[in-house]
Amino acid sequence: MSRLSITAYVVGIVCFIVSCSFAVFYGYKVVTHQLPTEEKELNNDRYHFVLIPEELDNDYWRLVEEGARAAAKKYDVLLEYTGPRQANFDDHLKTIEMSAAAKVDGIMTQGLSDEQFSPLINRIVEKGIPVITVDTDAANSKRLAYIGTDNYYSGFLAGKALIADTNGQANVAIITGSFNKNHQRQRVQGFKDAIQSEKGIRIVAIEESQISRVRAFEKAYQILQEHPEVTAFFGTSALDGIGVAEVVEKFNKQKRIYIIGFDLLKETQKYIRKGTIQATVVQEPFEMGYRAVKMMIELREGKKVPSIIHTATRILRKNDLPPYMNNIKGVR
Ligand code: BGC
């Protein structure tokens, strides 16, 4: 055999071995091929639930979502989190309607108003899709359960805290997320009832923020212009107190203004630490999300669940803050 043919022979064998190895390797890959995670989850998941908040990218709602996702992961549920980019009744209702049309196994959402939300919730429940209200109840609807803050009581707590912190002397302005949403109305009502018999406390203005921080800022600014006698603010939704604090820091250097807000987002705690916000009403958004998913599973399994579960609500002031915020569960 010539040298050339020996070389060709060896090269041929090497090529043959290499192609055999590729064939074995890729053959193995095809046989043991894993489906994309999404599909895999769909196959394993027992239920498909949807959580629909009034505003998708609101940090408060992201905490509710975190809780719901933790439970969904633990109990093999496919959880969809969807809703309006910015708070809007029509978009919210449309999303609920579309989820029902997609025949999901359960809908968790707010019962924002009896007029608009209850008829839709009733229709969906009558069709056999369970609905749980979270954070805000439509108590007269056919929703199967509510989990969230006692919104009236939380407003009442805020009123009592304001009385204690101002020694019963204050001209109060309220910035509320909305005049027509159940939770906001109940918080304002609770607050009013708490201060009702206090001679030294007057409500001098009340404005709507549409749960927008920028709007809360604008309204607080406007109030300070029109009502220089204001000495205290109550913000009834998560971004209201933050909007007010920004205005007070920027434009109110002389007078001391008391602020009580809602929730414990990172920015709220920053303002509490600085002393711009004196107190906040803390809710349990993570727990609401987690327990809502658990309750929905129980409903699907035919178990009985309580029709109302109120999660904890408390007042937090600067002294209640631990040195590092990361230590507090459910802060975003
Ligand atoms: C309320 C939520 C609301 C959020 C708005 C919270 O205090 O519980 O329902 O969407 O504020 O920022």
Average pLDDT over residues 66-82: 98
The amino acid at residue 328 is I
Higher-confidence position of 256 and 332: 256
Structure tokens given for 236: 């009834």
For ligand 1, the distance from its centroid to the CA atom of residue 237, given in whole angstroms, is: 5
> What is the residue whose two structure tokens read 């916000």?
277
pLDDT tens for 299-320 read 999 999 999 999 999 999 999 9
Establish whether residue 152 lines the binding site of ligand 1, counting it when its CB lies within 6 angstroms of any ligand atom.
no
Instruction: Please state, in angstroms and rounded to a whole number, the distance separating the CA atoms of residues 131 and 126.
Output: 10
Model confidence band, residue 36 (pLDDT cutoffs 50, 70, 90)? very low
Indicate the average pLDDT of the chain: 91
Give the whole-angstrom CA distance, residue 265 versus residue 135. 16
Alpha helices in 196-282 (DSSP H): 213-226, 240-251, 266-274
Distance CA 300, CA 49 (A): 11
Q: How far is the CA of 243 from the centre of ligand 1 (A)?
A: 14
Q: Considering only CA atoms, which residue is closest to atom 12 of ligand 1?
A: 238
Higher-confidence position of 265 and 27: 265
Evaluate whether 282 touches 311 at the Cβ level (below 8 Å).
no
Please indicate whether residue 136, judged by its CB atom, sits closer than 6 Å to ligand 1.
yes
Q: Are 174 and 128 in contact (CB under 8 A)?
A: no
At 322, is the pLDDT very low, low, confident or very high (cuts 50, 70, 90)? Answer: confident
pLDDT for the residue numbered 323: 76
276 has pLDDT over 50: yes
Q: Which candidate, 273, 201, 192, places its Cα nearest to that of 236? A: 192
pLDDT bin (cut points 50, 70, 90) of residue 55 is very high
| CA 263 to centroid of ligand 1, rounded, Å | 8
pTM: 0.86
Is the distance from the beta carbon of residue 239 to the nearest atom of ligand 1 less than 6 Å?
yes
Distances from the Cα of 37 to the Cα of 33, 34, 313, 325, angstroms: 12, 8, 38, 34
Compute the distance between CA of residue 15 and CA of residue 296 in angstroms, rounded to an integer.
60
Using pLDDT thresholds of 50, 70 and 90, give the confidence band for residue 99: very high
Q: Residue 16 — very low, low, confident or very high, per pLDDT cuts 50/70/90?
A: low
For the record, the structure tokens of 239 come out as 């971004």
- Please give the pLDDT value at position 30: 45
Tokens of 208: 């709507």
Residue 254: the pLDDT is 79
With 0-12 / 13-18 / 19 or more C-beta atoms within 10 angstroms meaning exposed / middle / buried, residue 78 is: middle
Report CA 200 to chain centroid distance, whole Å.
35
The pLDDT-based confidence of 86 (bands split at 50, 70, 90) is very high
DSSP string, 6-31: HHHHHHHHHHHHHHHHHHHHHHHHHH
Q: What pLDDT does residue 255 have? A: 84
CA of 332 to the centre of ligand 1 (A): 14
